[in-house]
Chain A
Amino acid sequence: MKLRELAELVNGNVVCCHHRLDSEVEYAFASDLMSDVLTVRVDKLLLITGLANMQAVRTAEMADIQAIIFVRNKTVSEDMINLAEDNGIVLIESPFTMFRASGLLFGKGVKPVY
């Protein structure tokens, strides 16, 4: 699914890297635990998380994650945006719960990792 479509689906506010919105993701992983995120090996991955801090963006950088949806109305800081810009990672703020955002994306064919 294209990131642009995905952002609309979760009522998202794109705060970084609008120029990357035509990229596609195939899989999603929903977790607040970055330790678990770092064990995921697939490509074209989206992260859905309620952990709005630098470590979420760093984890995305290391694990080649293309985009992060921050659920539960979490807001993204300026530092997080700067780091994401350096690495071309799309950041989306969503007012939905993790369950709702995940359910919507799953229903539209975004695949689970396992």
Chain B
Amino acid sequence: MRAGQASSQVKKILKQLNVSPNIIKRVVVALYEGEVNIVAHAFQGKIYVDIDTDKIRVVLDDVGPGIPDIEMAMKPGFSTASPIVREMGFGAGMGLPNIKENTDKMKIASVVGVGTRLEFEVNLKE
């Protein structure tokens, strides 16, 4: 189970760039939740991280089953995670709400049977 490796790399880069610890935590917590979602639900995925002077923009693109009802998926406590994902300590239906909580802008688009694209931004100025 390798979920977290991408988030870990991004955290190291943000540290090197002297981004404030509070911002780093918000970015990597949101990213890690998104990374776990890809591992938990999708077949494959790609993560794009764009670090600008005023904001960090992240896109998580996956090939997977998609989300039939995004509004439902955003509700705290709603989850379709498998028992294996729950054994990892996830699947409590807190992922997407927590990503929203930690970011300044969040957008999610999904096509059932194709995949999901999650985009979020965190402003660098607190």
Q: Is the CB of B25 within 8 A of A55?
A: no
Secondary structure of the A contact surface, majority rule: helix
Q: How many chain A residues touch B (Cβ–Cβ < 8 Å)?
A: 20
| Contacting residue for A53 out of B1, B31, B94, B101, CB 8 A | B1
Q: Is the CB of A35 within 8 A of B98?
A: yes
Secondary structure of the B contact surface, majority rule: helix
For A51, the chain B residues whose CB sits under 8 A away are 89
**In the assembled complex, B115 has its CB within 8 A of some CB on chain A:** no
Q: Using C-beta atoms within 8 Å of the partner chain, give the interface range for chain B.
A: 20 to 34
Q: Is the CB of A35 within 8 A of B4?
A: no
Q: Is the CB of B88 within 8 A of A62?
A: no
Q: Is the CB of A63 within 8 A of B89?
A: no
B32 to chain A, nearest CB (A): 4
Query: Bound state CA distance, A41 and B29, in angstroms?
Result: 10
Q: Is the CB of A58 within 8 A of B3?
A: yes
Q: Is the CB of B11 within 8 A of A61?
A: yes
Query: Bound state CA distance, A53 and B7, in angstroms?
Result: 17
Query: Bound state CA distance, A55 and B92, in angstroms?
Result: 14
For A35, the chain B residues whose CB sits under 8 A away are 89-95, 98
B→A interface (CB under 8 Å): 1, 3-4, 7-8, 11, 21, 25, 28-29, 31-33, 36, 87-95, 98, 101
A→B interface (CB under 8 Å): 32-39, 41, 51, 53-56, 58-59, 61-64
5 contacting pairs across A/B (C-beta < 8 A): A32-B89, A39-B101, A55-B3, A55-B36, A61-B11
